[in-house]
Amino acid sequence: MQLADYADRYNTVKFERHGGVLEVILHTRGGEAKWGTSARSLHGELGNAFLDIARDPENKVVILTGTGRNFIAESDDQDRAPEPTLAEMWDRIYDEALGLLENLLAIPVPVIGAVNGPAYIHAELAVLSDIVLAAEHAEFADLAHPGRAVPGDGVHTVWPMLLGPNRGRYFLLTGQKLSAQQALDLGVVAEVLPAEQLMPRARELAQQLAALPRRQLRYTRAVLVRHLRRRLREDLDIGLAVEALAMV
């Protein structure tokens, strides 16, 4: 797999690579990323994109970021799932949801999350990174589930791990928003920066890592995400199942 094989494959992901550092930029129709559920949305494409990234041996470090001043702050009101029934849709959603997190963690090199603004939907995609940087105006929340659905698509595992069991459950049940500074204080992010310094800092760190031997990078990544991968394998399928049951 080479960058040329997947550079133009996706509607919602743009790729740029310099010196072995692959920048993965989320967007919706060229603007700020919005969450959708069709096969051509972020939900439909990201898992496959992560798999392509994982298969490309020229990637030494990955930077995951959004477009404009939001990471993923709202749903895409122009996106519609094509399936006529929830049961038919959920077959696809189940497979895509597994791929989203499992393939993200299958990327065999370090991932830097550069959270360029509010991350209210699937913020776990960013905070599962090995290094998480946040713009000063960024906020973190799970607004896709409270009052709407069971938080069973991985957030039920990720956030209690990051915040602690009690704080994590409060976060998921209430839709609490954490400022970038609060996320820093809680250990969710490593650095908070002015928006204009976010990507320069991410690139600086990425180049530092990319200068290390390839084998060291890959094996370090493997040991750092081993526990995360095991927990998600244990929890994700049952979480998705009960999320679907609650919708019936």
Measured CA to CA in angstroms, residue 47 lies from 3, 52, 104, 139, 197 at distances of 16, 9, 7, 24, 29
d(CA 11, CA 217): 30
Q: Residue 248's CB: how many other CB atoms inside 10 A?
A: 7
Active site residue 124: yes
Q: Quote the CA–CA distance of 185 and 66 in Å, as a whole number.
A: 23
- Within the chain, how many helices (H) and strands (E) appear? 9, 8
Active-site residue, from 32, 45, 96, 124: 124
Tokens 């069973």, located at residue: 152
3-state secondary structure of 193: strand
Indicate the length of the chain as a whole number. 248
The answer to whether the CB of 107 falls within 8 A of the CB of 53 is yes
Q: Which residues are catalytic?
A: 124
